[in-house]
Amino acid sequence: MNSTRFLNLARNVVSRRSMATVPGAPAPRTVKEKQKMFQIDNGLRVHERGGQGDKLLYIITTGVMVLGAYWWCETVFTLAFPKKAD
């Protein structure tokens, strides 16, 4: 019982301190500029508006999904048609 109370107190103290002293927090001005960039109607989809970094992340995610689908199909085929023992 006391350990649970102590852990809750420690969690609260740590979370307050970490939120108060975030060294790399972006300035509100840069966030507003990024929001304006995403609000422009330029015909691009959301994942295309972030630049090269977002494009690379999208391509990697798509590749992982395709690879996972291939491995899933391979596993299902192997389980459905096991090799016969001679």
| Alpha-carbon span 53 to 58, nearest angstrom | 9
Q: 26-41: per-residue pLDDT in tens? A: 677 888 888 888 888 8
pLDDT of residue 16: 63
Question: Cα 65–66–72 angle (5° rounding)?
Answer: 90
At residue 64, the pLDDT reads: 98
What is the model's pTM? 0.53
Higher pLDDT, 21 or 62: 62
pLDDT at residue 63 is higher than 90: yes
* More reliable by pLDDT, 15 or 72: 72
Domains of the chain: which residue ranges?
A: 2-80
Architecture of the 2-80 domain? Irregular (4.10)
51: region left, alpha or beta (phi > 0 left; psi from -120 to 50 alpha): left
- Mean pLDDT computed over 67-78: 97
